[in-house]
Amino acid sequence: MINLVLFGPPGAGKGTQADVIKEKYQLVHISTGEVFRFNMKNNTELGRLAKKYIEKGQLVPDQVTIDMLNAEVDKNPDANGFIFDGFPRTEAQAQSLDNLMNSKKSEITAMIALEVEDQVLVERLLERGKTSGRADDADEAVIRNRIKVYYDETAILKNFYLAQDKYFGVDGVGSIAEITDRLSGVIDSLQ
């Protein structure tokens, strides 16, 4: 079983690569944003709980997120593995994810981070902003702040996974196929 934490700053191509990698390796892609939206839309107990926090402008507690991820993992008992996207974001969350996977008699295989220079990210996001309709992709100051927040948050996680020999940085610049080949090289080396 291959369980990956996919990371990268905004605009690095995580969504694009997650779609390709999940098909190639027959993995289940779990995006915490999508899981939140699904649970809230379907008015599940966890969705209602998360909505209470979100409506107050508060972060959803880690345990609620872990419980949602646990439900997603349980929905896919025959999966070849999972790609976790958007979680963990803190060391406590990474430890919680490790505990969750251990309870399933599994583990996180690797954290793979797409590495892209800031100026390239800004250019990509401004370009995406022309078609995405997302306000946070249209303002360079907002984009630069999102990138800064990413680095502030993930520096800790990089060290967490480095300490376990599970961190792999991959050059996120090039064609989709070139980046997929680099990611595949890392994934293939893990099997």
Q: Is 81 annotated as a binding residue?
A: no
- Choosing from 24, 75, 134, 148, which is the catalytic residue? 134
The full DSSP string for 3-15 is EEEEE--TTS-HH
Predicted confidence at residue 17, as pLDDT, reads 94
Q: Is 87 annotated as a binding residue?
A: yes
> What does the alpha-carbon distance between residue 136 and residue 144 come to, in Å, rounded to a whole number?
10
**Count of structural domains within the chain:** 1
Q: Is 92 annotated as a binding residue?
A: no
Cβ within 8 Å of residue 31, ≥6 positions away: 18, 85, 86
Predicted confidence at residue 43, as pLDDT, reads 92
Which CATH number characterizes residue 42's domain? 3.40.50.300
Cβ within 8 Å of residue 57, ≥6 positions away: none
Active-site annotation holds for 124: no
Active-site annotation holds for 48: no
The full DSSP string for the chain is -EEEEEE--TTS-HHHHHHHHHHHHTPEEEEHHHHHHHHHHTT-HHHHHHHHHHHTTPPPPHHHHHHHHHHHHHT-TT-SEEEEES---SHHHHHHHHHHHHHTT----EEEEEE--HHHHHHHHHHHHHHH--GGGT-HHHHHHHHHHHHHHHHHHHHHHHHTT-EEEEE--S-HHHHHHHHHHHHHHH-
Predicted confidence at residue 58, as pLDDT, reads 77
CB atoms within 10 A of CB 99: 10
User: Which residue segment(s) compose the domain that 78 sits in?
Assistant: 2-190
Q: What is the mean pLDDT of each run of 10 residues along the chain (191 residues)?
A: 91 91 95 85 90 80 90 93 90 93 95 93 89 81 87 84 96 95 96 79
Q: Is 131 annotated as a binding residue?
A: no
Predicted confidence at residue 32, as pLDDT, reads 83
Active-site annotation holds for 105: no
